[in-house]
Amino acid sequence: MPTSAFIHTTSGLTIEKGSVTWESPSNIALVKYWGKKENQIPANPSISFTLSNCKTITTLYYKKLSSPSDEFQFEVYLEGKKQDDFKPKINTFFKRIEQYVPFIKEFEYKIETSNTFPHSSGIASSASGMSALALCIMSIEKELNPSLTDANFTKKASFLARLGSGSACRSLEGDLVCWGMHKEIKGTSDLFGVKYPYEVHKNFKNYQDTILLVDKGEKQVSSTVGHNLMHNHPYAENRFQQAHDNLSKLIDVFKSGDLKSFIEIVESEALTLHAMMMTSLPYFILMKPNTLEIINKIWSFRETSGLHLCFTLDAGANVHLLYPENEKLEVLDFINSQLVGYCQNGHYICDSIGFGAKLISK
């Protein structure tokens, strides 16, 4: 599909002002996106579980300007407080999407956003935040073009969200979303996320994700910088091939419900992601001592209990503990008795697989 298919053409309709509210969840990658080409094209395909409780709620107020402006006109508020430090990222997002939604310079905006998780939790809000904002922009497009189908609305929202933050394009739907062309998964694209189209065993229904908050501080190295270090990385080509291979293996795993293989693939992906960081130039480490303590505790508890919990990491020190719903009681007991001590202020967040973004009001 050419990117030109996403360009909005005028319908002749006009809007004076309005507001729209969307909520959009975060997601946790099983096969990781790490490395990108020009225009937010991923270097390898990825797949994620959409989350349910960790989400961003964004209201976009828009008002027609008397004449289109040269600059993007907007103010951003996080939890009611003006947040000027969000502006550069949103400005870059607007610049990248302008050619696809040329009407955006005709309006001025007030963006009001809040997260269900603490901003300073070390949980990346870019996936939920950028997808919520992309959906709000798409609601303006839908007002200008009422014939836009729901399927095309979601596809273009994912396309735009990707231009804000790559992983954001996987947050619109659930429960499993792929992004990046993969030869064995029908409909996959580098341009937007798609719902995983094949059979998924009941073992993976309502899978749980407890996020152990090891370090709530700002990341020392942003994902964007990390992705760029995959250019000229000595292991890049093998890593990209490994992501393709792991996705191929997951097709069988999702079908059969083989939790042992699932654990092996997911943990290997998490450690490979961090291995890429440790072997780039400059090299860096985002795990903290408590991240490793938790990983070792998980391994020994898994060994002794025979349960199917495993971990994954994103670009930070927090640990996502993944497990099937029917093991929830034992795993929560394990967390409370053996892991909370490694979490900053004893904090963790219980989440589970979700089904994507929702329109709250228009």
Structure tokens at 77: 């508020």
* Residue owning tokens 């927090």: 318
Of 165, 171, 189, 272, which one interacts with ligand DP6 (CB under 6 A)?
165
Of 8, 22, 32, 122, which one interacts with ligand DP6 (CB under 6 A)?
32
**259-278 vs 236-256: helix crossing angle, rounded to 10:** 160
**CB under 6 A: which stretch of 25-33, 139-147, 242-250, 343-351 binds ligand DP6?**
25-33
Structure tokens at 132: 């919520």
**CB under 6 A: which stretch of 223-231, 235-243, 277-285, 336-344 binds ligand DP6?**
223-231
* Phi, psi for 218 (deg, rounded to 5): -65, 145
Sequence-distant (≥ 6) Cβ neighbours of residue 204 within 8 angstroms: 176, 254, 257, 262, 324, 353
Per-residue binding string, ligand DP6, 257-296, x by CB under 6 A, is ----------------x-----------------------
Of 314, 319, 321, 352, which one interacts with ligand DP6 (CB under 6 A)?
314
d(CA 8, CA 250): 36
Of 24, 26, 46, 50, which one interacts with ligand DP6 (CB under 6 A)?
46
**CB under 6 A: which stretch of 31-39, 98-106, 182-190, 201-209 binds ligand DP6?**
31-39
Least distance in angstroms from the C-beta of 124 to ligand DP6: 6
State the alpha helices, DSSP H only, in the chain: 87-97, 126-144, 150-164, 223-228, 236-256, 259-278, 289-305, 328-334
Of 58, 223, 312, 318, which one interacts with ligand DP6 (CB under 6 A)?
223
Of 126, 189, 272, 291, which one interacts with ligand DP6 (CB under 6 A)?
126
Q: Answer yes or no whether residue 320 interacts with ligand DP6 by CB under 6 A.
A: no
**CB under 6 A: which stretch of 26-34, 69-77, 180-188, 296-304 binds ligand DP6?**
26-34
CB-based contact 119:81 (threshold 8 Å): no
Q: Determine how many CB atoms are found less than 10 A away from the CB of residue 186.
A: 10
R_g of the chain computed on alpha carbons? 20
Q: Answer yes or no whether residue 239 interacts with ligand DP6 by CB under 6 A.
A: no
- Give the binding-site size for ligand DP6 (rule: CB under 6 A): 17
Q: Answer yes or no whether residue 141 interacts with ligand DP6 by CB under 6 A.
A: no
Least distance in angstroms from the C-beta of 170 to ligand DP6: 7
CB-based contact 132:22 (threshold 8 Å): yes
Nearest-CA neighbor of 239 among 25, 100, 31? 31
Structure tokens at 123: 């949980």
d(CA 177, CA 195): 4
Residues in the chain, total: 362
**CB under 6 A: which stretch of 60-68, 91-99, 163-171, 205-213 binds ligand DP6?**
163-171
**CB under 6 A: which stretch of 4-12, 219-227, 241-249, 303-311 binds ligand DP6?**
219-227
State the alpha helices, DSSP H only, in 288-340: 289-305, 328-334
Which residue type occupies 206? Answer: N
Q: Answer yes or no whether residue 59 interacts with ligand DP6 by CB under 6 A.
A: no
Nearer Cβ to ligand DP6 (142/156):
156
Binding site for ligand DP6 (CB under 6 A): 29, 32-34, 40, 46, 124, 126, 165-167, 223-224, 227, 273, 314-315
